[in-house]
């Protein structure tokens, strides 16, 4: 199992170019239009500034739609764990986990008491921050902060609680996520750098290659990608209400930011919108990233 299997749901998931040109499309049907932008949930300074055309499109939008509005997070409930890391790993794995925890600035005693999914997420975020990739540089938060400053409404396609529950209900409390992270710990820097470079270049083929090597199990891919894509397409097609809303999206012009892997590959959101009658046109200029995601 490659590290990208873990990176995909957590970053849901890029050589530097002079001006970031992330993949983006314009979708339109009757009185409704969307600017669709692919996101990486953590980032660095190489991703900024954003292209002027995206800044201007957000300024003209009736609302910003994101996966989940983290700026208005309500108190989260963490599901009760059926098992802990210490109960799931053998002695050799615990020894390696201890080394990783020390490198991440965390106490192994604390990590051992976590359910596996929480340990994986905590350790990965700590490692990414140590490597210079932080959530405050993530695309979602950047646009949410911009929307807040210009008083543009922000809407979530789903709640943070839904996302926590989705991760926590994986088999064995997410043990597969933790073991994948441990096995591929030393590849994090190279994979994340290439992911950021790919995003910067708007290199769709390279992003699809990243999705291909992730090799999620069919169950995980259905839960993390397919089911959510279908649900989001129904919301954007005015068939279901947004998170926390009583009615569906009103006609208008919206700016939509979701993880890049939801906008490429088979069954992606833009294809689902096309199937529902939207005309979808790419508005970004793409170039080669200068790195490749090789097969293992």
- The conformation of residue 74, written as its DSSP 8-state character, comes to P
Q: What is the pLDDT along the chain (296 residues), one digit of tens a residue?
A: 333 444 544 454 322 333 447 899 999 999 999 999 999 999 999 999 999 999 999 999 999 999 999 888 778 888 888 899 999 999 999 999 999 999 988 999 999 999 999 999 999 999 999 999 999 999 999 999 999 999 999 999 999 999 999 999 888 998 988 998 998 899 889 999 999 999 999 999 999 988 877 666 788 788 889 999 999 999 999 999 999 899 999 999 999 999 999 999 999 999 999 999 999 999 998 888 989 886 44
Q: Which among 162, 179, 65 has a CA at the least distance from the CA of 120?
A: 179
26 Cβ contact list (under 8 Å, min separation 6): 33, 34, 35, 36, 280, 281, 283
Identify any residues that bridge with 255 across adjacent strands, giving them in sequence order. 35, 64
104 Cβ contact list (under 8 Å, min separation 6): 123, 126, 127, 130
Q: Are 209 and 215 in contact (CB under 8 A)?
A: no
* pTM of the predicted structure, to 2 decimals: 0.89
């Amino acid at each position: 199992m490659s590290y990208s299997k873990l990176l995909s749901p957590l970053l849901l998931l890029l050589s530097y170019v002079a001006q970031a040109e992330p993949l983006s499309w314009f979708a339109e049907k009757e009185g409704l239009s969307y600017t669709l932008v692919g996101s990486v949930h953590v980032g660095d300074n190489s991703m900024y500034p954003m292209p002027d055309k995206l800044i201007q499109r957000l300024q003209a939008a009736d609302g910003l739609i994101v996966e989940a509005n983290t700026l208005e997070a309500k108190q989260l409930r963490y599901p009760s764990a059926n098992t802990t890391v210490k109960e799931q790993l053998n002695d050799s794995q615990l020894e390696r986990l201890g080394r990783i925890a020390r490198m991440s600035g965390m106490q192994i005693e604390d990590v051992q008491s976590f359910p596996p999914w929480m340990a994986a997420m905590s350790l990965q975020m700590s490692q990414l921050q140590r490597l210079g990739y932080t959530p405050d540089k993530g695309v979602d938060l950047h646009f949410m902060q911009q929307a807040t400053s210009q008083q543009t409404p922000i809407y979530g396609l789903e709640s943070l609680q839904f996302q926590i529950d989705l991760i926590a209900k994986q088999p064995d409390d997410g043990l597969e996520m933790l073991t994948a992270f441990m096995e591929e710990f030393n590849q994090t820097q190279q994979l994340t750098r290439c992911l950021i470079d790919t995003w910067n270049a708007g290199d769709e083929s390279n992003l699809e290659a990243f999705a291909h090597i992730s090799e999620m199990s069919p169950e995980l891919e259905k839960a993390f990608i397919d089911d959510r894509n279908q649900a989001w397409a129904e919301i954007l097609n005015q068939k279901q209400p947004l998170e926390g809303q009583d009615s569906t999206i009103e006609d208008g012009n919206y700016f939509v930011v979701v993880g890049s892997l939801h906008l490429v590959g088979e069954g992606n959101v833009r294809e689902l919108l096309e199937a529902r009658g939207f005309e979808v046109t790419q508005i970004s200029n793409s170039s080669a990233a200068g790195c490749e995601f090789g097969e293992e």
